[in-house]
Structure 1
Amino acid sequence: MKNLKFTHSIRSGFDKTLRTKVNNYFEKNNISRYGNGNMIVKTVIMLSIFFIPLIFIGSGMVENTALLFTLYITSGFGMAGVGMGVMHDAIHGSYSKSRAVNRYLGYTMNLIGANSDVWKIQHNVLHHTYTNIEEGDDDINVPFFLRFSPHAKHYWIHRFQYLYVWLFYGLSTISWITLKDFVRACRYNKMGFFDRKSSFTKELLKIAVWKIIYYSYALFLPLIMVPLPAYIVVLAFLGMHFVTGICISLVFQTAHIVPGTEFIHADKKGQIHNEWTLHQLATTSNYAPKSTLFSWLIGGLNFQVEHHLFPNICHVHYKKLSGIVSRTAKEYNLPYNVKKSFFEALLDHIKMLRQLGIQQI
């Protein structure tokens, strides 16, 4: 990856004005930027939806194939809820003012099979800093058979990606809990992200141990306890992850890979000629801003603009902040991308995949 850097030649004043208004909002209303009782309730609910079905499965009381699939898939929705509504804020440090609380709740990422340390680099550092920038944002650095940026190399197979991408979205968390964390950890180590004072072998061992713990209760125990053929248990386990992969992929991808968002290409020196805050506005889109229940279920990630501008603020505040951000963007004549519904965002995502598959944009 190039040594990417935002230039400081552009000073719009937007960033300073916006942050002043947001600070005033919290001070005037005497509320914390972190989570509240709503977050605690959500944490209990999402962890319960994830763990309770697995407890039933592991107890050996499930003897029916349909019930096994139902429980695993229910757990899959819980897994997605934990990922989007609990660990996401915790790893950003916005769940609680306490670093210890954030750290321990961040481990819920490990409990659902992935790794919090790798995710923090991929998401917090690379995606949030270099959103939609080729070679910088790991969310668009995908295998050759997918093309998520107009600056990526084009192959003939990309013209069909809007048809087959759903399979890979569904398989994304299977890849995550098996090889992807190890592959990315090795790459991030070469990039200098891991502490040079500690042994990288030790880091890989920690990743492996967490995955063994996850597989032990999510797959190995059911294989021992469920009185059904092993292939049925494995298929149900894969079904759980397919549901999780689809949910998480669609929530994140419909915020960036849609018409109206920009895909930036750094110059030969790695310079990005824009202010970071303006870059986030240009590369991110909201959707379904009026859907309270949907927003609750997906951890406020329908307000991606606010999340990218204020990742250190808990998502329970994003709906209120969206009015401040949109009005300030209008004041400075800046884009504020938003789709009325998730369905509209999804259709636009498909449209963008088709466009990326047939031409340069």
Structure 2
Amino acid sequence: MKHVKFEKRNDAEFSKTLNKRVNDYFSSSNHNRFGGKRMVIKTVFMLSLFFIPLVILSTGIVTSVGLVFALYICSGLGMAGVGMGVMHDAIHGSYSKNPTVNRWVGYTMNLIGANANVWKIQHNVLHHTYTNIDHEDDDINAPFFLRFSPNAKRYWIHRFQHLYIWFFYGLSTFSWITLKDYVKATRYRKMGFFSKKGDYSKLLMKITALKLLYYSYALILPLIMIQLPVWIIVAAFLSMHFVTGIVISVVFQTAHILSSTSFPQANEKGVIESEWIKHQMATTSDYAPKSKVFSWLIGGLNFQVEHHLFPNICHVHYNKLAKIVSQTAKEFKIPYLVKGTFFSALWDHILMLRQLGRAN
């Protein structure tokens, strides 16, 4: 598959200056680009938040319907924390300077029911390289009933998407643990990934085995051990994924699908008429930069601009890098998109969804 390309210019002073200042920051502060002890603490916390409720459920000691739901929802929050604040950095290679550590920590993606290899292509390769570009960025390549780009075809049903989208956001991780990995793996194979002999079949077997493992401890064991009707356990399990889906979707989508972000199209030669770094600045927005607790909980993903510019740097440094990026962008008169709070970004996202549903 032939992808679009970005224009290469000789006036890349912004990129050179920014990279130099970031390098100087790490040199002068004696910090490295990775997570260190802070990431270990977060990993233990988030994995505990995910697994401990499931362990309790699997003992069979829980007899209250409300407690079953509470434990599953608590596990769902841990699942979101693992996805946003642990595996995300590891798969980007920014968790540790040791590639083996990154690889094994990245496998936590498999423990929450999805597949790390498929995610790496969707997120690291396609989303980070071709942000907000139709047919390239898989994060905006939505089913026909959702419209995430003004360049996508509009149907009458999109007029209501800002109302019904929350249901589909809630289903997003359930989609992952059922069909999405298989669909994406097949699509990426056609695009030229997993092209070595045996790679695709091995991937499918691995996806299946890991999903069976996930279902065994997240659903089957509680079904066997808890003395409550099956439909209650299944409903609680689905509520876990609904919470996780909503959390992850709004955190990621409010950084890209806004009225202020751009949705560039390639020219007739298949070239985006912008440098890659300026493209990232135009298609990505920060939000809630002063909220330290919120930032910790969502893995620094409120600093999406910094993450897209420096995905190989751990998110624990983004609050410091944001000041450097903001100042450098101001000097070079390059727009630096940021919303003061998460709720202002979320409201803008809702309005953008509404606008996409009503205008071409």
Structure 1 stretches lacking a partner, 5+ long? none
Matched, 1:123 2:128: no
Task: Determine the structure 2 residue equivalent to 1:328.
Answer: 328
Shift of 1:38: 1.2
1:142–1:271 distance in 2 versus 1, CA, 3 Å: same
Shift of 1:333: 0.1
Task: Determine the structure 1 residue equivalent to 2:285.
Answer: 285
SS of structure 1 residue aligned to 2:239 = helix
Task: Determine the structure 2 residue equivalent to 1:340.
Answer: 340
SS of structure 1 residue aligned to 2:11 = coil
Give TM-score, length-normalised by structure 2. 0.99
- 7-16 or 238-247: which moved more? 7-16
Identity of aligned residues (%): 67
Q: Distance in 2 between matches of 1:16 and 1:348?
A: 32
Q: Distance in 2 between matches of 1:329 and 1:198?
A: 46
Task: Determine the structure 1 residue equivalent to 2:193.
Answer: 193
Q: Distance in 2 between matches of 1:202 and 1:42?
A: 32
Shift of 1:12: 3.4
SS of structure 2 residue aligned to 1:73 = helix
Shift of 1:248: 0.1
Shift of 1:159: 0.6
Give matches, 1:10-159, under 5 Å: 11-159=11-159
Tell me which stretches of 4 or more aligned residues in structure 1 moved more than 4 Å: none
Task: Determine the structure 2 residue equivalent to 1:268.
Answer: 268
Give TM-score, length-normalised by structure 1. 0.98
Alpha carbons 1:11, 1:275 under 8 Å: kept: no
Matched, 1:170 2:177: no
Shift of 1:148: 0.1
Shift of 1:10: 5.9
Partner amino acid, structure 1, of 2:5? K
Q: Distance in 2 between matches of 1:267 and 1:109?
A: 37
Matched, 1:318 2:310: no
Q: Distance in 2 between matches of 1:109 and 1:54?
A: 17
SS of structure 2 residue aligned to 1:330 = helix
Alpha carbons 1:2, 1:270 under 8 Å: kept: no
Task: Determine the structure 2 residue equivalent to 1:349.
Answer: 349
Q: Distance in 2 between matches of 1:259 and 1:155?
A: 20
Aligned residue pair count = 360
Q: Distance in 2 between matches of 1:53 and 1:10?
A: 55
Instruction: State the Cα deviation string for residues 320-351 of structure 1 (Å, max 9, x = none).
Output: 00000000000100010000000000000001
Q: Distance in 1 between matches of 2:353 and 2:287?
A: 18
Q: Distance in 2 between matches of 1:269 and 1:117?
A: 31
Structure 2 stretches lacking a partner, 5+ long? none
Q: Distance in 2 between matches of 1:214 and 1:269?
A: 45
Alpha carbons 1:10, 1:274 under 8 Å: kept: no
SS of structure 1 residue aligned to 2:329 = helix
Partner amino acid, structure 2, of 1:248? I
Shift of 1:2: 4.6
Shift of 1:271: 1.2
SS of structure 1 residue aligned to 2:52 = helix
